[in-house]
Amino acid sequence: MRNEAFITCALTGAGDTTDKSPHVPVTPEQIANSAIAAAKAGAAIAHIHVRDIATGQGNRDRNNFREVVARIRESDTDVIINLTTGMGGDYVPDPDDPSRAAEGSDMASPEDRVLHIEELLPEICSLDIATMNFTHGAFMNVPSHLRIMADRIKAAGVKPELECFDLGHVRLANQLIKEGHLEEPPLFQLCLGVPWGAPADPESLLAMRNLLPENAHWSAFGISRMQIPIAAQSVIGGGNVRVGLEDNLYLDRGVLATNEQLVERAVGVVERLGCRIMSPAETRQHLGLTKQH
């Protein structure tokens, strides 16, 4: 069990959640303000997606990323910025011709998927080590693309957070580390409960944790009602914590949450386990990050 842990808040994601809760931030201003509020509540890291302002759907508009990052950096609140590279890997096959992408697909080259990382230089960016089925299609991150993205992220001096949704993803990440595409010590995020990946239960968490390199830093999250239980199990198992509206919309049954409320709930649970919450500065030092401004 950890004696101290850091909290990541995943602010908005790319899922179809904006019509389910008015608290899901959509505009760059709302996303930045939510990151600042989450940091004040105890989050060391803000994991950031952006959305189309008109539709609320997730996108990868670099102008939106620029505005969010600028607003956070211009604030007086210290928080580690973690930008997603997940957008650009969604494939829905055309029912008449599976070799063609249907509406709802968003496919981009590996180079395009990291352009905002190379420009904005966040301290952390996600790197999804996952090709897997989602509800209507597949999330595609093939090894050749991952090697290109990892190399460019490494050259930019940004720390990749290796998002693994199943046991085989950890094995692939370990191979990329072995090949030198990822610097050590690595940072892993174990993503549990996402259809159709590993379930959000202690057995899955421990199986994935047990495959991690000995020097790895790691966090875990569970979606929906398993968010706080997995947060507790992660700390007990030696990891850190992720919460936020990307993964769960509710504070309690029928009670919609804000990001800062979810962070506050996680802080209370973790501290009751006897674990101290790390500040952004402590987390930065712990992970070997260089603050970018």
Residue 265 lies in a domain: yes
- The confidence score (pLDDT) of residue 293 equals 55
Q: What tokens does 218 get?
A: 């790691």
Residue 140: Cβ-neighbour burial (10 angstroms; 0-12, 13-18, 19+): middle
Q: Which two tokens stand for residue 240?
A: 């850190």
Whether residue 292 lies inside any domain: the answer is no
Query: In whole angstroms, what is the distance from residue 82 CA to residue 43 CA?
Result: 12
Q: List, for residues 161-176, the tens digit of each pLDDT value.
A: 999 999 999 999 999 9
**pLDDT of 236 strictly over 60:** yes
Q: pTM here?
A: 0.95
What pLDDT is stored for residue 101 in this prediction?
85
Residue 292's pLDDT is 60
Total residue count of the chain as it appears in this document: 293
Confirm whether 208 is domain-assigned: yes
* Residues contacting residue 111 through CB under 8 Å, at least 6 positions apart: 148, 152
d(C-alpha 50, C-alpha 69), whole Å? 11
CATH number, domain with residue 14:
3.20.20.70
Confidence of residue 89 (pLDDT cuts 50, 70, 90): confident
Whether 43 and 263 have beta carbons less than 8 Å apart is answered as yes
Residues 44-62 pLDDT 10s: 999 999 999 999 999 999 9
Query: Domain range holding 273?
Result: 4-287
In three-state secondary structure terms, 187 is: strand
Q: Which pLDDT does position 136 carry in this prediction? A: 77
Rounding to the nearest 10 degrees, give the CA dihedral for residues 281, 283, 287, 291.
-30
Q: Supply the pLDDT for residue 204.
A: 97
Q: How many structural domains is the chain composed of?
A: 1
User: Does residue 276 carry a pLDDT above 90?
Assistant: yes
What whole-number distance in Å separates Cα of residue 239 and Cα of residue 231?
A: 9
pLDDT at 254: 95
Look at residue 147 and tell me if it is in a domain: yes
- Buried residues in 122-136 as b, exposed as e (16+ CB within 10 A): bbbbbbbbbbbebee
Average pLDDT along the chain: 95
In this structure, is residue 161 part of a structural domain? yes
Burial 207-242 (b: 16+ CB within 10 A, else e): ebbebbbeebbbbbbbbeebbbebbbbbbebebbbb
Half-sphere exposure of 239 (CA within 13 A, CB side): 26
User: Who wins on pLDDT, 105 or 213?
Assistant: 213
Q: How far apart are CA 190 and CA 161, in angstroms?
A: 10
pLDDT at residue 135, as a whole number: 74
Q: Could you give the angle at the alpha carbon of 268 between the alpha carbons of 264 and 270, nearest 5°?
A: 115
Is the residue at 277 inside a domain?
yes
For residue 109, give both structure tokens: 């080259």
Strand ranges (E), the chain: 4-5, 7-10, 45-48, 50-51, 58-59, 80-83, 89-91, 106-107, 124-128, 132-133, 138-139, 159-164, 187-192, 217-222, 240-243, 250-252, 255-256, 276-277
Range from 135-144, 222-231, 250-259 carrying the lowest mean pLDDT:
135-144
Residue 194 in tokens: 């996402």
In the chain, what is the greatest distance between 2 CA atoms, to the nearest angstrom? 57
**Percentage of the chain modeled with pLDDT above 70:** 99
pLDDT above 70 for 291: no
pLDDT tens by residue, 99-130:
898 888 889 999 999 999 999 999 999 999 98
